[in-house]
Amino acid sequence: MNNGNETVISVKDLTKVYPAATRLLGDGGKKKLAVDRVDFEVRRGEIFGLLGPNGAGKTTTIKMLSTLLIPTSGKATVLGLDVVKDAVKLRPRINLVSGGERGLYFRLTGRQNLDFFSDMYRVPRERKKAKVQELLDQVGLGDAADIRVENYSRGMKQRLHLARGLVNDPEMLFLDEPTSGLDPEIARETRTLIRELSRKGMTIMLTTHYMFEADELCDRLAIISDGRIKALGSPFSMKESVRNDTVIEVEARDIGEVQRQGLAGLPGVSAVSMEFLEGRQLARMVVEEAGSLIPKVAALLEGRKVISIRVDQPTLEDAYIKMVNGK
């Protein structure tokens, strides 16, 4: 839910270079450019997504914006405060929730965890008890409040993470891969909670590598790859960028990287993605015109146990592949 055009995050030329760590990583002493001069803005009330593959720079970016990492260069402000110079003033007004199970105290109950984090954020004593119960009820853990977290399911732990991220009533909530590793039902519940927070007016910035999640949740998103922003806009506008393209989808039982490269080299093919399923492979090619290319695709894959070749409409994932890996 976008409540207006007020800018709450402004990023200009933001860069992060990790120093060489030869002994730890065996990388030959090379520095790693994780984020490379990125620019974007986030408006109040919207869900803004950073979409990209693992290692693209998503988590590094969100950690710089939430004051956990110091940028190498560039400038970023959140809620009008510089993330480096004003970090102490900024931290009480924001919160960060990361995917996974770290960051909770497993031998404490859900309620005790939220009591502890409320104290960390100096929630007034007279408000704390009611606030903790409200959060537990909000994330569906009211009946499990006094059970130790070590006995929670993974989905319950993720919901407790979200509640922890709300103890200080943040004006800006950062979510780093909020559904990573969750089963489909729990992931769906988590996305529902995120939408509810947005409907209540909270500004949210999240990272994800799931295309459908970005499409479902985000008002706007930035596609990031190799530390650089490749595209910026709404999911609709990104799908519109491939509206005049067509997709040829091939299902087969014996195609791999060599064939993917061969398909990518065909004239008129702008991007190719491969999905490896159990006992079969799915290749999707973003093309200008399918009719003339299908015979060439069939010829190139002769003898590769092709199950089907069909024409499809491009999706956000196809737009993403074209922007990140296209010609």
pLDDT tens column, 209-254: 888 899 999 999 999 999 999 999 999 998 888 888 999 999 999 9
pLDDT at site 105: 94
The Cα–Cα gap between 227 and 71 comes to: 13
How confident is the prediction for the chain on average, in pLDDT?
91
In Å, how far are 5, 101, 196 from 182, measured between CA atoms?
34, 11, 19
- Residue 82 confidence (pLDDT) above 90: yes
Instruction: Taking residues 117-142, report their average pLDDT.
Output: 94
Q: For the CA atoms of the chain, what is the radius of gyration?
A: 22
In this prediction, residues 295-323 reach a mean pLDDT of 91
Arithmetic mean of pLDDT, 87-116: 92
Q: Is the pLDDT of residue 24 over 60?
A: no
| Confidence category of residue 23, pLDDT binned at 50, 70, 90 | very low
- pLDDT beyond 60 at 48: yes
**Class for the domain spanning 241-325:** alpha beta
**CATH 3.40.50.300: which residues of the chain?**
7-239
Residue 26 has pLDDT above 60, yes or no: no
| pLDDT(22) > 50 | no
Q: Which pLDDT score, from 0 to 100, does residue 132 have?
A: 97
Query: Would you call 5 exposed, middle or buried from its count of C-beta atoms within 10 A (0-12, 13-18, 19+)?
Result: exposed
Residues forming CATH 3.30.70.260 domain(s) in the chain: 241-325
- Topology at the third CATH level for domain 7-239: Rossmann fold (3.40.50)
Q: Is the pLDDT of residue 27 over 70?
A: no
Phi (first) and psi of residue 321, to 5 degrees: -60, -40
